[in-house]
Structure 1
Amino acid sequence: MEDLRNYKVNVTDAMTANMLGYTISGMPPPSVGTLWFSMILNIFNSYGNLNAANGDLGLHRLIEALKHMRSQLRDHGTSHFCIVDADRNVVSMTTTINYPFGGGVLSPSTGIVLNNEMGDFSILTDISPDHLPPTPSNFIEPIKRPLSSMTPIIDNQLVGVLGGSGGLNIIPAVTQVFINYFILGMEPLAAVQSPRVYHRERGHELQAKAEGAITQLIVQRLGNPIQMGRKCGRSSNENVFHGILTAVSDPRKDGRPAAV
């Protein structure tokens, strides 16, 4: 009860990583998404698998081989949205009540569905619903916040905004959409709807599954600036460019927000 009485929202600076020529801004810990995203890209880059120009197309061939796979996702307790306005102000936001309908409790005074984020902590004797073993660094303690898989990211100077919903599948989904568009050169819709690979163990066999993550993507093509009122190309702020925006909402959820 003391924790609840003293709870305050933490407002922190974004975590920034320089990856493959892009400056990427995302959430800092206890969200692990930006850390894992950076680590995955570093591993791929170390082996040269992201350089399609030199003929090393290992990841691309894998994606091609899986094109017959399709996945659908029922609604869960997490939502993500990306927003870019006319002045190129950007929001990449992931919000969650954790499980479907959160804790299954509706506040009678506010009508708000209460979350069950305590389920994101590790408990010594329990395996999580995502089949993860207990993690000592994520055990329940006073004044502590649970680890999160949220991975809302922004690529500066604005070339893309990306994020997703789907628990632990968020990180590999966001990473693969990023690779599809920025490395393999897929069109935005193809980058989002392309089949994805999720795995947690070595020696696994791939199987099609009716689960995964839902991603949202906005990209800005800077090669073809468009008229924005009196603005064309750069805005009055010489550091802001206005290119052509393309937005994709994952067709795995009918290509539209679930609440609309």
Structure 2
Amino acid sequence: MQRLKFGRILAAGLLVLVLPLTATAQLKNIYSQRDRFHPEVGSHGMVVSQEKTASNIGVDILKKGGNAVDAAIAIGFALAVTLPRAGNIGGGGFMMVHLAKTGETVVIDYREKAPAQAHRDMYLNPDGTVNRHLLEAHHLASGIPGTVAGLWMAHEKYGRLPWKDLVAPAIKLAERGILINNDHVFTITKGKKRLKEFEATRKMFFKADGSMYKLGERIAFPDLAGSLKLIAEQGPSAFYEGEIAQKIAADMQANGGIISLDDLKNYKPVLREPVRGTYRGFEVVSMPPPSAGGIQIIQILNILENYPLQEYGSNTAQTLHLIAEAMRRSFADRGQYMGDADYWPVPVETLVSKAYAGKLSRDINTDRATPSWQVKPGEFMNKESDETTHFSVMDEEGNVVTNTYTLNFSFGSGIVVPGTGILLNNEMDDFSAKAGAKNAYGLLGGDANAIQPGKKPLSSMCPTIVFKNGKPLLATGSPGGPRLTTATLQVLINVMDFGMNIAAATNAPRIHHQWMPDRLRVEKGLSQDTIDILKNMGHDVRVTNTIGSTQTVMRKGKFFFGASDPRRPGAAAKGY
């Protein structure tokens, strides 16, 4: 745990003793040394991300006078270098910002869009089946990237430091190179066949002779550094109209892709109002469409509010059964009703209402699992990759940023645009390529999420802020496709229902149910007795290694707390 800095020594003698003792006494009221798991602690701010170098860069920006938004922008660019399988400038995502000065909480939606030439049946074979190759590892798989435009909007509206200063750390990393760690070795080895399929990708991640970089060796990304320099100097115009745009459009045209110069030039991020709910005296603020995640979190919490979970206990069979049943019903609604609200009438108010949750809860048998075939979308009138990544920031002024962005699969489509060092996403798989067909990760979809030009694919990403008495208490989010929603949810439940500190809330074993397939995923670490009880209740329990990778910050009084999920290597919370 980081050593706390309790202020400068302003005088000698008694004052030197009183200040630390007072701060220590305050800290004891909100943080116990007796806990099994301990968050990082800071007194001026907190940064949590899935990669420690990026976390350090975020803290450096705060120390230089930047606010939480400035730190988030620098982290976003840095992760494109240090965590290339998920961090990106060729993908998209969502950033939620809370502004201390005005009390406003807003969402910057920089999700990828379908190109103008996209159409509903573009991934169907002549026999009507879905062509997975075109959706996953082809130039047609990419939506129009939104990350650079989204980070620029955040800077223009809410940032403080010069744009160049925020991109500079990533440029330095790309030029100097990074040391290959175990995570790089594992993920590049796992994706070796796909990454070697494309010449520019092979050049970026492998040695000249085609061999892999070894643990501890340094790998630099000169083409990516060049792109970052252009973005630093010219802003988003470099990416959407200038040299980078020209290279993306040319690569698309040469390889059967459909993203054009006009598509890039016309891309604009959108400022949205978050969805809001309440739960046992807390206010929960999360992602609106085109993400389903925020609606699902609020809907599930609304269902669970009808049950005394604290009385049942954390991770008991009864509590987990009820959470699973709430998840099951929420995912049934996801496939039927949720899509890009700019193109489909998503019934948000109904889905997040207490009355609708009460109706759903009345159908839950507290002693028996409901078979998913019996659960239909409520009558009231495909998964992103595990390689999404999330980061959260709080600053001393009270500003909060929680951001989730992605390339979809690990390394996206696996395609690097020649001369740019930029990996392209394969986010088009998050659309419903065919009504009633599963995407790469088993999620069903229909007309609400059908492909249309300019439309954004349905997401599960759900950066979330919890407020208590009108003040931000914690911010969190996770990668993991539909599991990112349920991972984030369980961190919230562990804090709000069971009073855990955020490290304990992060480390607790998790479950996941997404309606179809009708399986209850549980992490290793849940007791066999509990698993047996869940099986006897009718759940088809499947033990899995990990669910999600949450990155959580909290503020209580003068202190900041950070918890980076140990489920992924290299993650780090950094306070100061």
Superposition TM-score tier, normalisation by shorter sequence: 0.7 to 0.9
Alignment of 1:6-25 (within 5 A): 6-25=266-285
1:151 is paired with a residue whose SS is coil
8 A Cα contact 1:60 1:184, kept in partner: no
Which of the pair is proportionally richer in helix? 2
Q: Shift of residue 255 of structure 1?
A: 6.1
Q: Shift of residue 22 of structure 1?
A: 1.5
State how far apart, in whole Å, the 2-side matches of 1:211 and 1:177 are.
14
Bigger radius of gyration: 2
| Aligned partner of 2:414 among 94, 101, 104 | 104
Structure 1 equivalent of residue 484 of structure 2: 170
Q: Shift of residue 208 of structure 1?
A: 1.7
1:166 is paired with a residue whose SS is coil
Query: What CA deviation, in whole Å up to 9, does each residue of 1:44-90 have, x standing for no partner?
Result: 112x233x2xxx3155423999xxxxxxxxx9431100101121211
State how far apart, in whole Å, the 2-side matches of 1:134 and 1:256 are.
33
| Aligned partner of 1:49 among 302, 308, 322 | 308
Alignment of 1:61-72 (within 5 A): 61-62=316-317
| 2:408 aligned with 1:78 | no
CA-based RMSD: 2.4
Alignment of 1:213-232 (within 5 A): 213-222=548-557
Structure 1 equivalent of residue 571 of structure 2: 256
Q: Which runs of 4+ in 1 moved over 4 A?
A: none
Structure 2 equivalent of residue 27 of structure 1: 287
Structure 2 equivalent of residue 94 of structure 1: 404
Change (3 A) 1:39 1:59: farther
2:492 is paired with a residue whose SS is helix
Q: Shift of residue 32 of structure 1?
A: 1.0
Structure 2 equivalent of residue 137 of structure 1: 448
| Aligned partner of 2:542 among 191, 194, 207 | 207
Q: Which has the higher contact order (CA 8 A, sep 6+)?
A: 2
Structure 1 equivalent of residue 494 of structure 2: 180
Q: Shift of residue 181 of structure 1?
A: 1.4
1:140 is paired with a residue whose SS is coil
State how far apart, in whole Å, the 1-side matches of 2:512 and 2:281 are.
26
8 A Cα contact 2:276 2:298, kept in partner: no
Query: What CA deviation, in whole Å up to 9, does each residue of 1:210-250 have, x standing for no partner?
Result: 2421111112223xxxxxxxxxxxxxxxxxxxx32110000
Change (3 A) 1:9 1:64: closer
| Percent of matched pairs sharing the same residue | 35
2:478 is paired with a residue whose SS is strand
One-letter identity of the residue aligned with 1:160: L
TM-score by length of 2: 0.37
Structure 2 equivalent of residue 2 of structure 1: 116
8 A Cα contact 2:274 2:286, kept in partner: yes
Which of the pair is proportionally richer in strand? 1
One-letter identity of the residue aligned with 2:454: I
Q: Shift of residue 112 of structure 1?
A: 1.2
Moved more, 196-205 or 180-189: 196-205
8 A Cα contact 2:280 2:496, kept in partner: no
Structure 2 equivalent of residue 245 of structure 1: 560
8 A Cα contact 1:49 1:59, kept in partner: no
Moved more, 28-37 or 193-202: 193-202
2:270 is paired with a residue whose SS is coil
State how far apart, in whole Å, the 1-side matches of 2:292 and 2:319 are.
29
Query: What CA deviation, in whole Å up to 9, does each residue of 1:7-36 have, x standing for no partner?
Result: 221122323223321222222111111100
Q: Shift of residue 103 of structure 1?
A: 1.1
State how far apart, in whole Å, the 2-side matches of 1:61 and 1:134 are.
32
| 2:299 aligned with 1:39 | yes
8 A Cα contact 2:502 2:563, kept in partner: yes
Query: What CA deviation, in whole Å up to 9, does each residue of 1:144-180 have, x standing for no partner?
Result: 1111000101122111111111101011111111111
Alignment size in residue pairs? 224
